[in-house]
Each structure stands twice: as C-alpha cells, then as structure tokens.
Amino acid sequence: MTAALVVSGLSKSFGGVRVTRAVDLQVECGERHLLLGPNGAGKTTLFNLIAGALPSDGGRIELHGRDITRDSAAARAQRGLGRTYQIVTLFARDTLLHNVKLALLGKSRQRWRHWGDFDADRGLSDDAMRVLGSVGLADKAAWPLQQTSYGEKRRLEIAMALAQRPTLLLLDEPLAGLSSLERETIGTLLAGIPREITIVMIEHDMQAALAFADRITLLHHGEVITTGTRRQVVDDPRTQQIYLGH
C-alpha cells in the first residue's frame, strides 16, 4: 500500500541557519505519527514545508504517492492535506458558524460562484452545523469567536480542518495551553477521528502524545534522530540524552 506521506531529504535554511537537515519521514495510511523534539528542533518548520507555507531548499514530498513538492499550499489542500497551527488562526470577528462555512467553501464548487447570498445558503449552513456538532459546539454556532474560550477555539480549528475532508491532517500542538479538562476533551475528539484520516501531530504534552501515537519521530536541531514505536523511541538513549541530559 502507498504511504500517506513520504518526505525525502527535505532541507531548509534561513540565511546561514539550517533549520531542516535532509529530513526523511514516512507515514503510513491511517497512522497516528508524533513529531517529538525540544523547542527549536524544526518541527513547525517541517510542517510548513509539508503544507506548502514555505518552499524547501531541497528534497521531495509525496502525498499518497503523488509528488507535491512544487504544488502551492492551496493545491495541496485540494489534494487532501489539512492542518492546524501552533497559534490559533481563525476569523476572530465572525461567528463559529461563519468560520466553518468559510472552511467548507474552500473545497466547494461554490467558491467560484460570485453571486448569491452566502449567509442564506441552507445546504452550506446545514453542513457547517453538522461539523460543529461533531466537536460539541453546535449550541454555540451563533456566538462570535471572541466570546469563546481558548479550548473552544482549539476545537473549532480542528473542526475547520476536518470540514475540508483531509486524508492527511497535520496538528501543531493541539493541546498547548489547555487546562487538564480541555486536554481531555480535545484528546477524546482526536481519538474519535476515523482512521481514513492519517494524522501527524506535534505535541509537548508527553503523556497525552505518547498515548495517541502509533509511531514517533524525534527531531533535534532539524535532524531526524530516531523513528520507531513509542517504546523504541522512549527507550532510545539519544531520546534520554536530548530530554534528560544524560
């Protein structure tokens, strides 16, 4: 079976600083893959390269066997790549419903239609309500985003990514800054995502992340140090050296 994601020799420098060093990564279809590493390891830069937010200096990216290295971020999204961000990126002055409708519009033929009343589109509204219901936010659909909690914003961001029907979902620290109750809520939400969607996740909450992941890749100074199962990576002396200093 063709892997969901294959990254080969991916490199990126900013000026004289090399932040991604010939990274190789393979993620199988349906897998939950964790990117682990201390601050500055290059994890978010790697996500930006995979998603097309940054051009790479060298290497190759394949999505379900198709070379997307030179595709735009929009083209990658159309091919099934979705993502969330380390810093929540939403339309702050709009309602939750409007945010999700905009996400749904991204993969709808209606995005090319420059006439009609977007707010009155019943089909789009119904679909958006179903998406909000899947993350427990249907009762707050009419709320302005600025009136919601940080945890609710995180749930909305995941909902918007799922609304675009991705086959590969990149989650950048979805549990960051949340209370223990909110982490539990988001964890349950992530566990319920069907295996038809492959997930690669960056996370610093080690306990939650290890419970979620099938396989782990450890990055340090932009390089892959080791890849394997949870037990293999946790027991690797290089992991202990990077995190514990011995």
Looking up residue 36, the CATH number of its domain turns out to be 3.40.50.300
Residue 152 lies in a domain: no
Residue 201 lies in a domain: yes
Question: In this predicted model, what pLDDT tens digit does every residue of 110-165 receive, in sequence order?
Answer: 543 544 455 656 778 898 999 999 899 999 999 998 899 999 999 999 988 898 88
DSSP-derived secondary structure letter, 95:
B
Residue 185 lies in a domain: yes
Question: In this predicted model, what pLDDT tens digit does every residue of 189-242 receive, in sequence order?
Answer: 999 999 999 999 998 777 777 788 999 999 999 999 999 998 898 889 988 888
Q: Which residue range forms the structural domain that includes residue 174?
A: 5-94+167-244
Residue 122 lies in a domain: no
Residue 45 lies in a domain: yes
Residue 72 lies in a domain: yes
Residue 82 lies in a domain: yes
Q: Crossing angle for the helix pair 122-134 and 96-105, nearest 10 degrees?
A: 110
Domain total in the chain: 1
Residue 213 lies in a domain: yes
pLDDT at 35: 93
pLDDT for 53 beyond 60: yes
Three-state DSSP at 122 gives helix
118 phi/psi in degrees, rounded to 5: -60, -45
8 Å CB contact between 66 and 113: no
